[in-house]
């Protein structure tokens, strides 16, 4: 059986989407499902090809027990729309960019990550890049909440 696959997407793939990638990977590893669910992240823009996540993202994630150090930035590719079962944008702008590039037969795979939040009421995961340290904690709060809801959703899909 093919693993259920999820792609997290933000603009540059160095803050929000690798954070979601690392948090969700941590959750599925803890449950013993690393072979049933695959995870990746990408950016709508090719600003930081093959770069590690932003140091601030790594620092704040590490403080909560998540290791992002092995992740590398990449831009979304046409093949991703077919390859992934679910493609989750961090905000409306990136969702619109994905919708503009996505073949019509795969458009139903596109959603916002925050649709899976159950504690926080936020339509988007805001970009922390130009802000202070509080923005990276807010990203983690939203991502942890959304990833818990996403995990419940995915477990239904794979059973």
What CATH code is carried by the domain that includes residue 93?
3.40.50.2300
Give this prediction's pTM.
0.97
127 an active-site residue?
yes
Q: Which residues, given as ranges, of the chain have pLDDT below 70?
A: none
Predicted pLDDT at 145: 98
Please give the pLDDT value at position 33: 85
Dist. CA 83–CA 40, nearest whole Å: 11
Starting at the edge strand that comes first in sequence, how are the strands of the sheet with 86-89 ordered? 37-43, 4-10, 86-89, 110-112
- pLDDT tens digit sequence for 116-148: 999 999 999 999 999 998 999 999 999 999 999
How many folded domains does the chain comprise?
1
Which of 10, 15, 102, 147 is labelled catalytic? 10
Domain housing 60: 4-158
Q: What residues contact residue 87 under an 8 Å CB cut-off, 6+ apart?
A: 6, 7, 9, 80, 81, 98, 102, 109, 110, 111
Which pLDDT belongs to residue 34? 81
Query: Of 91, 127, 145, 147, which residue is the catalytic one?
Result: 127
- Known catalytic residue at 16: yes
């Amino acid at each position: 059986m093919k693993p259920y696959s999820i792609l997290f997407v933000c603009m540059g793939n160095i803050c929000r989407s690798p954070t979601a990638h690392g948090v969700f990977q941590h959750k599925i590893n803890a449950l013993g499902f690393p072979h049933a669910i695959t995870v990746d992240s990408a950016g709508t823009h090719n600003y930081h090809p093959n770069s590690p996540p932003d140091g601030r993202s790594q620092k704040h994630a590490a403080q909560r027990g998540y290791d992002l150090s092995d992740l590398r930035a990449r831009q979304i590719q046409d093949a991703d729309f077919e390859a992934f079962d679910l493609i989750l944008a961090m905000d409306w702008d990136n969702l619109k960019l994905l919708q503009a590039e996505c073949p019509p037969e795969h458009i139903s795979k596109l959603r916002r990550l925050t649709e899976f939040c159950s504690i926080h009421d936020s339509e988007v995961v805001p970009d922390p890049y130009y802000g202070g340290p509080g923005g990276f904690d807010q990203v983690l709060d939203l991502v942890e909440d959304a990833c818990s809801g996403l995990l419940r959703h995915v477990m239904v899909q794979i059973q």
